[in-house]
Each structure stands twice: as C-alpha cells, then as structure tokens.
Amino acid sequence: MMKRLMISLFALSLMSGCGQGGNGEQSAASTNPQAQAGNASGNTEQGAQADAASDTNAASAVMAPDPDAILRTSMQARNGVGLDRLDQDSLQIACSNAEDRAGDQAGKLREAAMAAIEFPEDGNYLGDWKKGEAIAQNGRGMQYSDDPDDPNGGNCYACHELAAGEVAYGTMGPSLRNYGQRGQSEAMLKYTWGKIWNPHAYMVCSHMPRFGEAGILTPDQIRHVMALLLDPASPVNKAE
C-alpha cells in the first residue's frame, strides 16, 4: 500500500508539477481509486466527499475493482520472480485502461520518459548486427522459467518483421524491413535509440516494452540491435 501511494504521489507530481504539501496523500488517493480502497482517512473536505460518494455507491453493492490487490492474492513468487513485479509505476497506472490513453497525464509522462533516456556518452550507437539478430531472435529473459544468469533477449521478431529471411515474425508492431533506408543522421540514431530505450517518449501507452529504461537490454545489446536496424550490411536492409 505504501509503495502504491508513493507511486500515486509520483503520478500526481507529474500531473500537477508539484507533489508537495499536506494534501498529497488525499489527492493521490483521489487520482487512484484503487489506492482509495481501505484508505479510511476522511478528515479533509475532499476525503469526506469521497466517503459520501462511496456510501451512495454502497447501495448498489458494486465497488470499484482492485486488480492490484486481486493479483497479489492470486500469484506466488517463483524462481526469483516475486510479487514486487506487480508494483505499478505512474505510467503503468495511467495506461491501464481500455482506451489505451493516459489522458491529461500524457504530456508529462512523455516528457519524463524523454528526459530519462540515457544516450551513449561516447556517441557510439552502432554495434554488431549479427549479435543484434541473435538478440532479436531470443525471446527469453525475466520469466520464472528462464535462467536469470543468461542474458535477456529482445524478442523483436515476436512483434516486428525485420530480416527478409525470417518469415516467423509477428504483426503487433510495424514492419521494420529496410529500416536502414532512414539513414544514420544523428536525429535518426537518437530517435531509434530512444524508441528502444523507452517508446513512451514518443507515444505514451505504447505496447512496446521499455527495453533500456526497464533494464531488459543492456546498452551494449541495444547497440547491437541498432546495428541490426541501421547497418547497410544487416539482413534487415538486404533484398533477401
């Protein structure tokens, strides 16, 4: 609960630009109805209003569901994958809806994502496309069935078409065939790196994982995937 409130506070600070002040907790609860359940502090005007509202709703006996609490009683830690995996950050909270939109938080979330991208300090964006291809093919990593000592894969082919020779590609994401035609300008390098690091910097509530931000891939691995996309010698940029 404490963690969730802190996360909510962070979401609030993103939204309003200031997370300070004594009314933080109460406001955070109002931004996140899930956190509100079980929070009985009704000692402020807004809190009292919320309590009154839930009293009214109690007649219909339909409380707002709390998926986080349900998951915590429905899952068990296994092989190093613990319940802390369920802790949501502000972006996950904002994007957990049927519309797939972060609403009025989108701008702040996008800016925060952009500001946190760690670009290579030495300006070296491109590694070895062959290693990148192996990373793109590898769907393992961070599952309780995986060996935590093995490097994570990027699993790019799960969602994207890349090399011409690989027909077993998914269609969740756009085709990246001939991505290298976009060139290697600094803007292109930074955009591609940033998109892999944290796609929400460009499209909030993207379905793509935050490969850099979440520590799924290392900077070196991202360099290799960058080369797979941009190296003219990469099969992504060959006719077949």
Partner 1 sequence: MAMSGRMMGGLLGGALLAVGLAQAQDDTFDEYRSMFGDDNPAIFIVDEGSELWTQARGPENVSLEQCDLGQGPGVVENVYGQLPRYFEDTDSVMDLEGRLIHCMVELQGFKREEIIEGIYSGAGDNGTEMEALVAYVADASQGSKVAVPQSHPEEKAAYKAGEALFYHRAGPYDFSCATCHRQSDKRIRLQSLPNLTEAEGARATYTTWPAYRISQGVVRTMGWRMRNCARQQRLPELQPGSEAVVDLLMYMGVNAEGGSMDAPGLKR
State the number of CA atoms in the 13 A half-sphere of 91 facing the CB: 22
Q: Which is nearer to partner 1, 47 or 212 (CB)?
A: 212
Please select the residue that binds partner 1; options are 6, 23, 144, 174, rule is CB under 8 A.
144
Query: Considering the rule CB under 8 A, would residue 78 count as an interface residue with partner 1?
Result: yes
d(CA 191, CA 195): 6
DSSP 21: S
CB atoms near residue 199 (< 10 Å): 20
- Annotate 95-146 with three-state secondary structure: CCCCCCCCHHHHHHHHHHHHHCCCCCCCCCCCCCHHHHHHHHHCCCCCCCCC
Query: Considering the rule CB under 8 A, would residue 40 count as an interface residue with partner 1?
Result: no
Q: Which is nearer to partner 1, 115 or 168 (CB)?
A: 168
Minimum CB–partner distance for residue 114 and partner 1 (Å): 17
The SS3 of residue 59 is coil
Q: Which is nearer to partner 1, 85 or 182 (CB)?
A: 85
Q: Which is nearer to partner 1, 113 or 126 (CB)?
A: 113
Query: Considering the rule CB under 8 A, would residue 134 count as an interface residue with partner 1?
Result: no
Question: 161 in the Ramachandran plot: left (φ > 0), alpha (ψ -120 to 50) or beta?
Answer: beta
- Binding-site size, partner 1 (CB under 8 A): 48
d(CA 218, CA 196): 11
Give the per-residue contact string, 162-201, with partner 1 (x = CB under 8 A; - = no). Answer: -----xxxxxx-----------------------------
| Residues lying near partner 1 in the complex (CB under 8 A) | 61-63, 65-68, 70-71, 73-78, 81-83, 85-88, 91-92, 95-98, 100, 142-145, 157-159, 167-172, 207, 209-210, 214-216
